[in-house]
């Protein structure tokens, strides 16, 4: 008695012969298994991206896990430095540039760049609200608190990215995903 193989993915034809890798070819990557909470990033893709070194839709190569951790850390440190040097006004530029340049090069770096951009968006909103409030002196306090909040979140994000952990900043809506 023979059994028909169950399809791995929806829509896959169970009667179609499964292609076996030829000599010299690499086998297809295993399906994505989400990491347990708090587990370090292993380099597996969220959305079935190609493996490191393979070209993406735009011809760029997917970064290997170590490079993704490094750029995930830079996605927090570069805006942090820009924010400190510009009194909070240019951190957004650093986050946006890294997000646009690296969002297609790996899910780990994309998530950390999006988190960094979300932190900067929330900080920018609070800073804009702080300007008119400066007329009644409350804005100076909210301005400082917004910068301190962003500073702490970027430090935590950079540390988590360096450790290879997925992280979502608290009290920050996901404007960019």
Asked if 122 and 173 count as a contact pair (C-beta separation under 8 A), the reply is yes
User: Tokens 């450790």 identify what position?
Assistant: 163
**Which domain covers residue 76, as residue numbers?**
65-163
Q: Given this model, what pLDDT does residue 65 score?
A: 85
Q: Given this model, what pLDDT does residue 62 score?
A: 81
Give pLDDT tens digits for 98-132: 999 988 888 899 999 999 999 999 999 999 999 99
Give pLDDT tens digits for 152-171: 999 999 999 999 998 899 98
Output 74 or 18, whichever has higher pLDDT: 74
Structural domain includes residue 105: yes
Output 154 or 55, whichever has higher pLDDT: 154
* Mean pLDDT within 50-75: 75
Structural domain includes residue 137: yes
Structural domain includes residue 14: no
Structural domain includes residue 143: yes
Structural domain includes residue 43: no
Structural domain includes residue 47: no
Structural domain includes residue 150: yes
Q: Given this model, what pLDDT does residue 46 score?
A: 45
Give pLDDT tens digits for 76-99: 999 999 988 988 888 889 889 999
Structural domain includes residue 116: yes
| Number of folded domains that form the chain | 1
Tell me the C-alpha distance between 159 and 69, whole Å: 10
Residue 73 clears pLDDT 90, i.e. is over it? yes
């Amino acid at each position: 008695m023979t059994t028909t193989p169950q399809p791995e993915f929806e829509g896959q034809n169970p009667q179609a012969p499964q292609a076996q890798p030829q000599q010299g070819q690499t086998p297809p990557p295993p399906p994505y298994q989400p990491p347990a909470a708090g587990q370090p990033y292993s380099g597996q893709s969220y959305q079935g991206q190609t493996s490191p070194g393979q070209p993406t839709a735009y011809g760029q190569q997917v970064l290997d896990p170590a490079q993704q951790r490094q750029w995930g850390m830079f996605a927090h440190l570069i805006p942090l430095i820009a924010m400190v040097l510009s009194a909070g006004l240019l951190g957004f530029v650093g986050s946006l540039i890294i997000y646009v340049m690296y969002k297609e090069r790996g899910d780990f770096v994309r998530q950390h760049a999006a988190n960094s951009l979300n932190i900067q968006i929330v900080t920018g909103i609070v800073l804009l609200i702080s300007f008119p409030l400066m007329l009644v002196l409350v804005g100076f306090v909210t301005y400082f608190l917004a910068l301190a909040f962003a500073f702490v979140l970027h430090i935590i994000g950079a540390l988590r990215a360096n450790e290879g952990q997925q992280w979502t900043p608290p009290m920050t809506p996901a404007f960019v995903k």
